[in-house]
Amino acid sequence: MYPENIIASTSEGHWLAILLGVIIHFVVISVYMKGLSFFPNRNIIGIYSSVGKGTALFFLIPVLLYFLMVIIITVRAYSEIITIVFLSNTPLWAIMALLLFISTYIASCGLETIFRTGILLAILFLPLILFIFFVSFQNVDWRYAIPIDGNFQFIKKRDYLESFFAFSGGYLFLGFVQPFFSYNRKNVLIAAAVLIPFFFFSVYIPILTFGQATASTFFLPFVVAVDAININWLMFDRVTMFFIISLIAFVMLFLSLVSWKTIRIIEQFIPSIKPVYMLISLSVIIFLFCLSVPDWKDVEKLFWWNTILRFYVLIAIPISIYLIGIHSKRKNQHENI
């Protein structure tokens, strides 16, 4: 979905649009982790609650709404993609139910299970995804990269604003894992840097394969580019199937992590209900809501409506955690004096 947004936002100089998003991503992650470093072994729920209940409500309720919207959009959108690519005869509700069931089960097992599942999926599917990325260069025409000049006109485009779904929110789990797990800030930034080439690959492979004019007409440009791969020695006709299956595996893991974070926030305000009951109820509500979304145009509307919450999470949460951390540090220094 990211390539479609970037290709639609500008007709040339796509690298500039991608680079700006990557830079903002790195700045936001750095500010966020710096703020969290002032509160060792505390998650963002505890950090906001320490300031006051009103502050916790002000910052956590929009995050909660954002998580709910992300789950709904992800389940509905990827169910549609699965139907389009290779399960055209399967009812949409069955695919949505399967995605929610598996992700709910993983989330109910706890954060440690989510991380261990992530390691397993990385071992199984990352080599395949890397292979598909590199063989997708077989049909490229490097002349389509010209012109490389760009301008910042894309900033005003709706498609570019929507593309920030790839950067916003994913890093928030760093504020939820403490005190369950600790992490090295340097390693997180290295991992984020490793992902940078794939943002460029996902956009430029369709452009270099079909050209800007043609790629801009596709619903899923990178998937179409992968579908054009022809490997004689491979016994399977469509590489796309393996790419989508690998992607869906990580999507279910992502859904389980977002669901786990959502329950952590709800638990803060409604501690009387057991988390597992909350999780089951949440999954049922989301499933019913997904059923009420009739077609892809409504998915796009939800995606656009979520933009406000997306930028709130992208800007307000890291900055607020950082400012609260600075204030807490100065307060502790003053008390020590």
The model's pLDDT over 262-293, given as tens digits with 9 standing for 90+, comes to 999 998 888 888 888 899 999 999 999 998 88
Q: What is the pLDDT of residue 167?
A: 84
Longest dimension (CA), the chain: 74
Q: What is the mean pLDDT of residues 15-40?
A: 90
Q: What is the pLDDT of residue 131?
A: 85
Q: What is the mean pLDDT of residues 131-157?
A: 81
Q: What is the pLDDT of residue 65?
A: 92
CA angle 178, 185, 321 (to 5 degrees): 60
* pTM for this predicted structure: 0.89
* Count of the separate structural domains present in the chain: 1
CA angle 90, 303, 148 (to 5 degrees): 105
Half-sphere exposure of residue 116, counting CA atoms within 13 Å on the CB side?
7
List the single range of 43-52, 109-118, 136-145 with lowest mean pLDDT.
Answer: 136-145
Average pLDDT score over the chain: 86
Res. 235 pLDDT band, cuts 50 70 90: low
Tell me the C-alpha distance between 69 and 259, whole Å.
11
Tell me the C-alpha distance between 187 and 176, whole Å.
17
Cβ atoms of residues 83 and 99 within 8 Å: no
Cβ atoms of residues 8 and 163 within 8 Å: no
Cβ atoms of residues 32 and 322 within 8 Å: yes
Q: What is the pLDDT of residue 234?
A: 64
Distances (CA, A) of 322 to 35, 121, 189, 243, 319: 4, 33, 17, 38, 5
Q: What is the mean pLDDT of residues 223-232?
A: 79
| Residue keyed to tokens 């261990």 | 116
Q: What is the pLDDT of residue 336?
A: 63
User: For residue 10, what are the domain limits?
Assistant: 2-145+154-336
Is the pLDDT reported for residue 259 higher than 90? yes
| Residue keyed to tokens 């460029």 | 200
Tokens encoding 302: 């939800």
Q: What is the pLDDT of residue 144?
A: 82
